A and B are shown apart, each in its own frame.
Chain A
Amino acid sequence: MTALLTFQDVAKSFTLHLRGGVVLPVVGDVSFTVEPGECVVLGGPSGAGKSSLLKMAYGNYRCDGGAILVRDGETIVDVVRADPRVMLGLRARVIAYVSQFLRVIPRVAALDVVEAAGREGGLDAGTARARAKDLLARLNLPERLWGLPPATFSGGEQQRVNIARGLIADRPLLLLDEPTASLDAQNRAVVADLVREKLRGGAGVLGIFHDSEMRDAVATRVVDVTHFAPRARAA
């Protein structure tokens, strides 16, 4: 098996205990793969469960059933059943996740945020520093901001810090949830370049891009999430 990521018959629902235990089905019968060098883009209207699928692959959401297999070198890990420590190891070495929002400790400078992400992803301090600077420069984040904490940055500036943080290390599987939502066309093009570089390096991407230009620039395949509508429950 060569796939970096395999969804096998995955199902997910939320049980809202505070609302009398009502069950909200999200997706069912989800099966697809992401191969090396492939950028699979999830399509479908909002509310179809696209973000949930990324969160399930990252181990952030639980699943009701099925398997989510992630290739870690020679071994395959099922994220649905993985022990928390195994999951943390996968996140450190294999899976990068970039959301729309930057969530960091308030006081830390942007450059340090990105560099720390590089070290957590296995880079030595020197490489992490150099790559952090290179990425922030490529993403056109003004150098005068590098030493400041991102909390006061604009949405687009924060998003660029977040992208640099997500892409700095050499992880083979990237989960991208609208990472360019607040970016202008010029910076979206930079992100598209960065993603294509990762694909050429053999990484696989599972992404959500509402912007059609961005989607056309990076997608090798679109998977329509509406096909994974949860099975209707017996009345």
Chain B
Amino acid sequence: MSKPLLQVRGLTKRYGDRLACADVSFDLVPGEVLAIVGESGSGKSTLLSLIATELAPDSGTVSYRMRDGALRDLGTLSEAGRRALMRTEWGFVRQDATKGLRMAVSAGGNVGERLMGLGERHYGRIRAQAIDWLGRVEIDAGRVDDPPSQFSGGMRQRLQIARNLVTGPRLVLMDEPTSGLDVSVQARLLDLIRRLSAELGLAVIIVTHDLAVARLLSHRIAVMRAGRVIETGLTDRVLDDPEHAYTQLLVSSVLAA
């Protein structure tokens, strides 16, 4: 079995006396898709921010297997080292596309920017790769010079995915990537995420309140409530035969997951 790419141990974060994230631990192996589900306020987005090192935990560690094979505690990396990692090896697809994209910069520029962050300077190659990735997320090459402010919600999410995947990341974090989209647009985006993550062997952590999304995309699931992971396991087993009372409530509250 492959060694973990990401190792989370005892992550804890308080806001005043409220526990936003309580003693969360898990491993993620290459190619594995983990869904974190729960209602709003359950701490799932806080957990994602802690993993992305955008928030500092009160205690606990997030360790990542670097290209040299060594597992490094991200808390011990320099700010510049962490940022470099996020720009190249990691992707983060956000619920609000305006936070994950540069809205005034062209679509091609949004994708090319991550390549330039890797040191690519050849304009023709950057543009060609940007167009290639727009095609892979089903955005017409004719839109390469348009800014995402002129895009629909579904197109913005697809552009975010292109921007994140162009650098060949090994780990992608997704925060409610399909919420707020029309159902038909959602289906197309889910298909795209599933296909690309399988083709590229990406490890993915996807936060969602939508159990149907978790079922379609993830191998494993972690159910959060009040900052704690209360149930975890194989996605279909947790959804079809939930053990914990709260998971049973979540599953039974959905029309058809």
Contacts and interface: CB of A to CB of B under 8 A. Distances in A.
Interface string A79-91: 0000011111000
Contacts of B249: 17-18
Contact of A84 (B191, B220, B248): B220
A88 B34 CA distance: 13
Interface stretch (B62-70, B113-121, B233-241): B233-241
A11 B192 CA distance: 40
Interface in B242-257: 243-245, 248-249, 252
Contacts of A87: 234
Contact of B219 (A88, A105, A108): A88
Main SS class of interface, A = mixed
A105 B192 CA distance: 10
A87 B249 CA distance: 26
Contacts of B1: 85-86
A88 B29 CA distance: 13
Contacts of B187: 105-107
Nearest to A21: B245
Nearest to A86: B1
A109 to B, nearest CB: 11
Contact of A61 (B32, B190, B241, B244): B241
Contacts of B216: 105
A60 B194 contact: no
B188 interface: yes
- Which of A14, A16, A17, A108 has the most chain B CB within a 10 Å cutoff? A17
Interface in B199-247: 216, 219-220, 233-234, 236-237, 240-241, 243-245
B194 A59 contact: no
A55 B190 CA distance: 26
A18 B245 contact: yes
Contacts, number: 49
Interface residues of A, number: 18
A62 interface: yes
A61 B233 CA distance: 11
B188 A84 contact: no
B241 A62 contact: yes
A213 B164 CA distance: 54
Interface in A32-81: 55, 59-62
B248 A61 contact: no
Contacts of A59: 234, 237
Nearest to B194: A105
A85 B32 contact: yes
B234 A61 contact: no
A70 to B, nearest CB: 15
Given A18-B245, A105-B191, A105-B194, A88 B234 contact: yes
A224 B220 CA distance: 34
A85 B29 contact: yes
Contacts of B188: 107
Contacts of B220: 84
Nearest to B32: A85
B191 A60 contact: no
A51 B48 CA distance: 37
B192 to A, nearest CB: 9
Contacts of A106: 187, 191
Nearest to B186: A106
7 contacts: A59-B237, A61-B241, A62-B237, A84-B234, A84-B237, A88-B219, A105-B216
- Closest 8 A-B residue pairs measured CB to CB? A17-B245, A106-B187, A84-B234, A61-B241, A105-B191, A107-B187, A17-B248, A107-B191
Given A84-B234, A85-B29, 13 more contacts: A14-B241, A17-B244, A55-B240, A60-B236, A60-B237, A61-B237, A62-B237, A86-B1, A88-B234, A105-B194, A107-B187, A107-B191, A108-B191
